[in-house]
Structure 1
Amino acid sequence: SQVLIVAFVCFTCPGLYNAISSIAAGVDDETINYNATAVLYACFALFGLFAGGIVNVLGPKYTLFIGTWGYVIYATSLLIMGNNFDETAKAYSSGATNFFYAGNALLGIGAGLLWTAQGQICMSYPTTETKGAYFSYFWIIFNLGACLGGFLTFGTNYKTTGNTASNTTFILFLVLMSCGALLSLTLAKPENVVRNDGSMVTIDALPNGLSEILEVFKLFLDPKMLLLFPLFAYSNWFYNYHFFFNNAMFNKRTQGFNSAFYWGSQMLGAYLIGKYLDRAGPKKPKALQSILVLTVLCVLMWGAALWVQSSFDIDFGAKRRTIDFQDGGWFLKFLLFTFFGFNDAICQVWSYWLMGQYSDDMATLGRYAGYYKGVQSGMAAVAWRLGGIPLTPMAVLGT
């Protein structure tokens, strides 16, 4: 039940954030959006890295609660941006833009706390034999938020074929995110949690914050974590191109529709990989076989993306396209976008499952989660900054 509560908190907060971000956050200035997202992930990386120590001191319940409010502030900044666009100058007001950057920074801080607390709970509360299944259940419910958010965006913008999201979209998301923040307060204390097999959750937190910081730095000398560094670095790098593809290829209502199926395909990918990882048998062959499948899927995905990018020369500005879901050229590009999401889920669930096999100790897994999100978000900040320079889409795809 605790993993389900966390899943529904993430359904309303990062889930709905993902629905917004996959349509470029409704901000019709690519440079502002890319640079703000780079700020978000830079703050996410910094606080994510040390959030393992914070969650071990404050506990996952209150760390999660504090983290959720970054999403509420971010949604508020989007609403303000949407109402402070000068149609004559074709620019946002400086005050709204500054608040948007601040909202992204606070979201990065909150996300670092939220995702570390989430990772600690989802890796330490299930038994070793059920970690793949429980994390896949989490990923399905979490992405259901983004999926429904995509349909909300589609519905609230159905009567427009332009590229500006409505106020109703952001007000709905703001209310739902606030509900998710309050839901986090229903979590039980870790020492009161009993696993399915009757065992208690193991808690071995260090006595003070300084000791926690030292333990975090030791992860950069841990051979297991160093070997996983390239995978963790890759695991959010691609969002820059994924969301560029949706935003530069389709109109706003179709972006929302596509987004719903992008996150829906993540639910399918999470379910399939979770079932496979928790099946009976030795862990090492399962790990090797599944990472091989992921590698093949990634080669197919990026090969198809390269072909579409080179064939259609997608970009913002004069090259921007506004394909509608009712147009004849929509379906195959839609399928590629959903394939992006399917592969993302397999990568994320596999990473969490592997970390969960290394330990059952709650404090240790909290540090692993912080390290994972820190590395992941640090590289994502670089990727989004490259988009804001801006590099050409083909150059971004080549990275």
Structure 2
Amino acid sequence: MGGAGQIDRTTSNNANTGVYCTFIIFGVLGGAIVNLLGIRWTIFASGLTYSLYSSSYISYNHTGSGTFTIATGPILGIGAGILWSAQGMVMMSYPVESQKGKYISIFWVIFNLGGVIGGIVPFVVNYSQGKGNIATPLPDSCYAAFVGLQALGSLSALCLAPPQRVIRDDGSHVVLMRYTNVKYELMEVLKLFVNPWILFLIPISLASNFFYTYQYGPYNGALFTLRTRGLNSMLYWAAQMAAAYAISFLHDRESLSRRQRGLLSLGLMAILCNAMWALTMVMQLRYTRGADDKNPSNDYPGGLIDLTEPGRAVGPILLYIFMGAVDAHVQSFAYWLIGTMTNDSQMLARYAGFYKGIQSLGATVAWQLDAQNVSLMGQVIANWALIVVALPFTYYVTSRIKDHAEDSIEQPADDWLMRADGGKSDYI
């Protein structure tokens, strides 16, 4: 919603800095925490941190002090790192190998439905403002609704079946359980930093959330009226839903080998990303700081773009929709690629956490670039350069995809719940 629904984005920006700082650490550690404690209680507890963060804005509405909100940012980052590790493990380890693209797309559709709803709120609230740039903060009732929904989501996690009880459609078990403890998990996390396949994915991990800062702020935030920004948000996330669903058919196309599917998807991603940033650069050449009425460098031709001006609005809005579709492709491909490395739920929890941690590092850098007033053209160049650098590293991993992960062959039923030394796993 931009600035978490507030007029002044300062408090939200400071809170987001705290979010991403702890997200980096607990993203990397999240997989280990999930493996130790299981998915139900980790998702339940981490989901509550979202409710805490949303509730802080009710306090902000009444006190005008951002202290509580800023303090909840790092707490939310801890919860987010753990939550996304658990989510990634479920999404990538539960399906059979031929359906991983489908499961990723189902998640992405549900996930981005929240973004569509988030875009509806400022669109409806600010529609009557016309072309003006005057807005009011979201009322307490909106934040209370978010708190309630987030708390309900947290409670629903307690209904999840433990992974060791989940059996896939083909009769295979989701989890090949091994004994785990804190020392073991910490050692496995450290191994991620010397795993060549994971290290080769660091560039695409950095790039995959880096561009949000530019797209949300210097593009959507700087060029459009408030009601048009809300419309753009709805269309951006709706495009993500459609694109994630469409790319799943390629990722699960059994007539092609997994390596062929991966290379085709990566090639398409490379074309789309370069086309998107080329078009974005063309747009960026038309302004330096945008058309914010509070900014003295109101330099976009004609001022703020409004949805009632089709001649000016259609092209920029279509580009923003394109940005959403490309993002869905990048994210879906990254998750699908990680999912081809293994079917081991414990490893995938660590991989997902590491991916989200590095993602958050990239997001932190990107937010700071904007906070330090790096030129918008400089931000475009940084985004484009980062994805170009990531492509050859990602190609190296993609070109070595196997049709079946080495751990995809099920062990005998009597073995899958046993430790290597014959004892039962503590996890069970």
Tell me which interval the TM-score lies in, with the shorter structure as reference length: 0.7 to 0.9
The answer (yes or no) to whether the contact 2:60–2:66 under 8 Å persists in 1 is yes
User: Given the alignment, which residue of 300, 317, 341 partners 1:334?
Assistant: 317
User: Given the alignment, which residue of 191, 204, 209 partners 2:182?
Assistant: 209
- Structure 1 distance, partners of 2:220, 2:237, is 13
- Cα 1:330–1:171 change in 2 (3 A) is farther
- Per-residue deviation at 1:100? 2.0
- Residue 297 of structure 1 pairs with residue 272 of structure 2: yes
> Per-residue CA shift, 1:328-366, capped at 9, x if unaligned?
422221111111111111111111111111111110111
Aligned to 2:229: 255
Aligned to 1:390: 373
User: Given the alignment, which residue of 134, 140, 143 partners 2:112?
Assistant: 143
- Residue 308 of structure 1 pairs with residue 283 of structure 2: yes
User: Given the alignment, which residue of 230, 244, 255 partners 1:270?
Assistant: 244
Aligned to 2:95: 126
Aligned to 1:87: none
The answer (yes or no) to whether the contact 1:150–1:259 under 8 Å persists in 2 is yes
In the alignment, structure 2 segments of 5+ residues that lack a partner are 383-428
- Residue 173 of structure 1 pairs with residue 146 of structure 2: yes
Give the 3-state SS of the residue equivalent to 1:311 in structure 2: coil
- Residue 286 of structure 1 pairs with residue 261 of structure 2: yes
- Per-residue deviation at 1:115? 0.5
The answer (yes or no) to whether the contact 1:232–1:375 under 8 Å persists in 2 is yes
User: Given the alignment, which residue of 309, 323, 327 partners 2:305?
Assistant: 323
The answer (yes or no) to whether the contact 1:40–1:381 under 8 Å persists in 2 is no
The answer (yes or no) to whether the contact 1:150–1:260 under 8 Å persists in 2 is yes
- Structure 2 distance, partners of 1:180, 1:158, is 30
> Per-residue CA shift, 1:231-283, capped at 9, x if unaligned?
01100001100111212222322222111111000001101111111011211
The answer (yes or no) to whether the contact 2:126–2:226 under 8 Å persists in 1 is yes
- Structure 1 distance, partners of 2:7, 2:347, is 42
Aligned to 2:164: 191
Give the 3-state SS of the residue equivalent to 2:343 in structure 1: coil
- Per-residue deviation at 1:205? 4.4
User: Given the alignment, which residue of 210, 217, 220 partners 1:237?
Assistant: 210
Once the two structures are aligned, what percentage of the paired residues are identical?
38
The answer (yes or no) to whether the contact 1:152–1:256 under 8 Å persists in 2 is yes
Letter in 2 for 1:116: S
Number of aligned positions between the proteins: 368
> Per-residue CA shift, 1:35-90, capped at 9, x if unaligned?
43222111111111001100001101111111111211221223333444xxxxxx
- Structure 1 distance, partners of 2:163, 2:170, is 16
Aligned to 2:420: none
- Residue 155 of structure 1 pairs with residue 124 of structure 2: yes
- Residue 114 of structure 1 pairs with residue 80 of structure 2: no
128-137 or 245-254, which deviates more:
245-254
- Structure 1 distance, partners of 2:62, 2:232, is 25
TM-score, normalised to structure 1, is 0.87
- Structure 1 distance, partners of 2:317, 2:52, is 31
The answer (yes or no) to whether the contact 2:6–2:138 under 8 Å persists in 1 is no
Letter in 1 for 2:309: D
- Structure 2 distance, partners of 1:327, 1:297, is 27
- Structure 1 distance, partners of 2:122, 2:149, is 14
- Structure 2 distance, partners of 1:356, 1:304, is 32
The answer (yes or no) to whether the contact 1:301–1:340 under 8 Å persists in 2 is yes
- Per-residue deviation at 1:374? 0.8
- Structure 1 distance, partners of 2:226, 2:179, is 49
- Cα 1:205–1:159 change in 2 (3 A) is farther
TM-score, normalised to structure 2, is 0.82
The answer (yes or no) to whether the contact 2:208–2:359 under 8 Å persists in 1 is yes
- Structure 1 distance, partners of 2:250, 2:73, is 37
- Per-residue deviation at 1:206? 4.2
Show the 5 A alignment for 1:15-54: 20=1, 23-54=2-33
274-283 or 149-158, which deviates more:
149-158
